[in-house]
A and B are shown apart, each in its own frame.
Chain A
Amino acid sequence: MGGFVSRGFRSRRRPDAETAERLPPGQYLTRDFPVLSAGPTPRTSLSTWDFSVVGALPEPRRWTWDEFQALPTETVTKDIHCVTKWSKFDTVWEGVSLDTLLAGVETDATHLVAFCDGGYTTNLPLAEVTGGRAWVAFTFDGAPLAPEHGGPARLLVPHLYFWKSAKWVRGLELVERDRPGFWETLGYHNHADPWREQRYQGD
């Protein structure tokens, strides 16, 4: 991007060796939980909230909030990495694994598109979200997920940049052809692996 160095301007804190090992390239560690939203925070009442799996499967699946809460849950501790370069270690989430939500589904789909209140979407290969790698989370740090962080429920795909962990998620559409989502159609990387620094298309 060019530009000359301004004396005394420093990048955010330099990590120690142990931290550096856990940080993907170009990231810095934060203790905050920055908020980045592509739109206003939706307010969906739990009495009307539902979660569905639609698209390329014989029968759509749908759960009300109460039904969803009754599914088996997992509590996981994960490091998360935002494309805006902050990373946060050891975040604790409780949610339902996508393995559970997609169990036994017969489909020719190769990808899914997560859809959300407010219109946000993000796309993921099915192979990347099964095998204990993705959840629909509804608690953070032991408390109900705050609306600004995606509550009542958000996708959690911690091994990819955090825009893939869609806030306010309401369902998954199984698709036979990949369909880039909100940021993926505006120059951001389709796959988004922080360890390969896949920030932008072409990276």
Chain B
Amino acid sequence: MERSGNETDRRLDGNAAGGLLAEAFCVEMTTAVVVCAGCGAEAVVAELLRYGHEMGAILRCAGCDTAVVRIARTGDRLWLDLRGAVNLRVSAAP
């Protein structure tokens, strides 16, 4: 499907980045809530739109396309860029 030429078929969501996110964080991240630095919208990470597949995960705001979370694995290193997020909150409930 990545080669179908249909844009909406290539785009997945934050669920698909769960494995990569789990490498960087020690809590479940697909349920985390982020506030987009572009438009202020709040979203669950699972509902951000994912691009960039094989090079990394670019998770964009569904409303304004801001790259809220960028994460890539290069060999045995992980790179994380949260400049597109005002904040990110996770449940710390026991």
Contact = CB atoms under 8 A, between A and B. Distances in A.
B63 to A, nearest CB: 12
Contacts of A202: 75, 77
Interface in A115-140: 118-119
Interface in A14-45: 32, 34-41
**Chain B interface residue count: which class?**
20 to 34
A183 interface: yes
Interface in A162-203: 163, 183, 185-188, 199-202
A41 to B, nearest CB: 5
B11 A38 contact: no
Contacts of A188: 55, 72, 74
Q: Which of A1, A83, A118, A186 is most buried by chain B, counting CB atoms within 10 A of its CB?
A: A186
Interface residues of A, number: 26
A64 interface: no
A84 interface: yes
Nearest to B60: A39
Given A148-B7, A185-B81, A186-B81, A36 B53 contact: yes
A163 B71 CA distance: 16
A83 B74 CA distance: 11
Interface in B58-94: 58, 60, 65, 67, 70-77, 79, 81
A83 B75 contact: no
B7 to A, nearest CB: 5
30 contacts: A32-B3, A34-B3, A35-B3, A36-B54, A36-B55, A37-B10, A37-B52, A38-B51, A38-B52, A38-B67, A40-B11, A40-B51, A41-B7, A83-B55, A84-B55, A146-B5, A163-B55, A183-B56, A183-B72, A185-B81, A186-B56, A186-B81, A187-B72, A187-B73, A187-B74, A187-B77, A187-B79, A188-B55, A200-B77, A201-B74
Given A84-B55, A187-B72, 12 more contacts: A37-B52, A38-B51, A41-B7, A83-B55, A148-B7, A163-B55, A183-B55, A183-B72, A185-B81, A187-B77, A188-B55, A202-B75
